[in-house]
Each structure stands twice: as C-alpha cells, then as structure tokens.
Amino acid sequence: MVRFIKALLEFAQLLEYDFNMDCLKEYQKAALKLAEIKRVESEEGYSARIPGFHGLIVFGSTKLEAWNELESALKGWIEVALARGKGLPSLHHDAGHLATAR
C-alpha cells in the first residue's frame, strides 16, 4: 500500500495535481453507507457486506461487531484492489461498474 501511495503522489506531482489523501477515506465512508447487515438465520450473529465489493463479507455476534469487522476488512479490500490495479467499485452507478484507480 505504501508503494502505491508513493506512486500516486509522484504522479499527482507530475500533473501538478493536489492529491488529497483523504479521498480514500471519503470513498471508504461512502462505501460503508451502502453496507447491508443481516441476521444469520442458522446461527447466532450477523453478517455484513457491501454490494459490489466481491468477496467482502464478515460476521459478528452483534450488529456493532459485524460493522466494526466490515470497516476493518474494507480497508484491506481496498488496499488489495488498488495494489492489483483492479480499480474500485463505483459508488454512484451500477455496482458492476469499476472506477479505475491506476
């Protein structure tokens, strides 16, 4: 993740663009607003996911625990997606559309 951030900062400087590191935090906040937390019927507890973020699903014994797990897992999910150059899911359009972040 550190190499990716350094590369983005260098690119932003080349374009004379004022890159704001808070943009990833804002993206994460917006993504969490789409979170779905559901009671797991066969077991005690809750599952949490964000539509469009394939493979991102977490579990917790309470809604709060599931939310906290999702918040933490989302950070890692974003890091991996960016490191792989896959782009991030659009939060404003169809969940299958990718906003490239290369």
Number of compact structural domains in the chain? 1
Residue 76 lies in a domain: yes
> What whole-number distance in Å separates Cα of residue 25 and Cα of residue 64?
20
* CATH (domain of 85): 3.30.160.250
Residue 11 lies in a domain: no
Residue-wise pLDDT tens digits, 81-90: 888 888 889 8
Residue 77 lies in a domain: yes
Per the prediction, the chain carries an average pLDDT of 80
Residue 31 lies in a domain: yes
Q: What is the pLDDT of residue 102?
A: 34
Residue 3 lies in a domain: no
Query: With bands split at pLDDT 50, 70 and 90, how would you rate the model's confidence at 12?
Result: low
74, 31 Cβ separation under 8 angstroms: yes
Q: What is the pLDDT of residue 65?
A: 97
User: Which domain does 31 fall in, by range?
Assistant: 22-99
3-state secondary structure of 100: coil
Residue-wise pLDDT tens digits, 34-75: 999 999 987 789 999 999 999 999 999 999 999 999 999 999
